[in-house]
């Protein structure tokens, strides 16, 4: 049998990625599943839990986001969450099976004072023996150094879409701003969590270009969340035509092929996905989810629904995803 697994690359051309998207669906899934099995346990999914530690009043104008102060979505503005509330939420997440606890704050960028408070939160979460991840907006190099010293495991900062379509979605920060923050995070050897949102009215070419940007970073993101747009009334993208589920699964599969060692997270939008669509995404190479009934401010499937689906599919919730022997052999 021909080995369809691609070597680890950072020089993907747009034409090569477009050719993957153009494959017959069966052939694409076969290649993605072959790649997935080379590096990961095919029946293990990593579970993360996401908590909004500071909600609303964000000065950015991201067209998809109900937390933007520019859109009247009825979202109540909240102050930074108390430390003990964060600890209790993390404990609940751990008791429900999460291995990573992610905290998000609706900031353009954190002040040094607010960063110090988040660092305290990182400490209490790590004391519970959970991996830590935060998403706080743009970071300076000194701020990134402080997060590294605090023991932060992952930093999330999505590219959202292609460079060409980006200006249609966000005007208050540039694409280069996002790339600069990712560079600061990589420079301090913090794991990068970086992906995008699809179904925002972008073209097929934009989806390919987003994945090209991710795959051609100096190091592939350790975690790649692929989000399906959650449409929120009174945001500019409300009413956007719904993306075809097969096209979403294709995006997962191509991400798996060109970033073979990355954890690919089936992220926002699962509440609008059927069990069959989610199963197709796991087959295409997704091996991480967010667990819990809310993602920052948007709905997510209940924990018992996820457990029931995992049982049907024979999937194990696991912090250990890699096939160590296979990875060693493939290195």
Start-to-end CA span in the chain (Å): 21
Which residues on neighbouring strands pair with residue 196, listed in sequence order?
Answer: 160, 226
The active-site residue out of 100, 173, 207, 265 is 265
Q: Under a CB-based contact definition with an 8 Å cutoff, are residues 105 and 137 in contact?
A: yes
The active-site residue out of 38, 65, 178, 256 is 65
Does residue 194 have an active-site annotation? no
Q: Under a CB-based contact definition with an 8 Å cutoff, are residues 182 and 222 in contact?
A: no
What DSSP character marks residue 130?
-
| Tokens 């933007």, residue located | 68
| Tokens 């080995």, residue located | 3
d(CA 99, CA 188): 23
The active-site residue out of 38, 100, 133, 178 is 133
| Local structure of 331: helix, strand or coil | coil
Does residue 281 have an active-site annotation? no
Which residues on neighbouring strands pair with residue 305, listed in sequence order?
Answer: none
The active-site residue out of 38, 100, 173, 193 is 193
CA neighbor of 12 nearest in space, from 296, 222, 210 = 210
Query: How would you classify the pairing of strands 288-290 and 294-295?
Result: unpaired
In 243-262, which positions are buried (b, 16+ CB within 10 angstroms) versus exposed (e)? Answer: bebeebbbbbbbbbbbbbeb
The active-site residue out of 38, 62, 173, 256 is 62
The active-site residue out of 100, 102, 173, 281 is 102
Residues known to be catalytic: 58, 62, 65, 102, 133, 193, 265
């Amino acid at each position: 049998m021909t080995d369809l697994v691609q070597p680890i690359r950072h020089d993907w051309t747009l034409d090569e990625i477009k050719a993957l998207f153009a494959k017959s669906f069966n052939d694409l899934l076969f290649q993605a599943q072959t790649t997935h099995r080379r590096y990961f346990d095919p029946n293990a999914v990593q579970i993360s839990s996401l908590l909004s530690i500071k909600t609303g009043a964000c000065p950015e104008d991201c067209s998809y986001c109900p937390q933007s102060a520019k859109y009247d979505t009825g979202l109540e503005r909240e102050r930074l969450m108390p430390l003990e509330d964060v600890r209790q939420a993390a404990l609940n997440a751990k008791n429900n099976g999460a291995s990573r606890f992610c905290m998000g704050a609706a900031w353009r960028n954190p002040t040094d004072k607010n960063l110090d408070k988040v660092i305290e939160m990182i400490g209490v979460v790590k004391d519970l023996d959970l991996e830590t991840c935060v998403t706080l907006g743009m970071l300076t190099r000194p701020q990134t150094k402080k997060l590294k010293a605090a023991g932060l495991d992952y930093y999330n900062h999505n590219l959202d879409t292609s460079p060409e379509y980006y200006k249609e979605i966000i005007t208050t920060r540039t694409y280069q701003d996002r790339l600069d923050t990712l560079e600061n995070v990589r420079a301090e050897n913090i794991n990068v969590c970086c992906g995008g949102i699809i179904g925002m009215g972008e073209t097929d070419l934009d989806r390919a270009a987003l994945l090209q940007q991710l795959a051609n970073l100096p190091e592939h993101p350790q975690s790649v969340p692929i989000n399906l747009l959650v449409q929120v009334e009174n945001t500019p993208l409300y009413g956007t035509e719904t993306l075809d589920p097969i096209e979403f699964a294709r995006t997962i599969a191509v991400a798996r092929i060109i970033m073979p060692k990355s954890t690919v997270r089936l992220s926002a939008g699962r509440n609008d996905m059927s069990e069959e669509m989610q199963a197709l995404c796991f087959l295409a190479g997704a091996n991480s989810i967010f667990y819990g009934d809310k993602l920052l401010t948007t709905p997510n499937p209940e924990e018992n629904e996820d457990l029931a689906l995992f049982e049907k599919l024979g999937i194990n919730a696991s912090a250990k995803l890699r096939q160590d022997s296979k990875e060693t052999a493939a290195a």
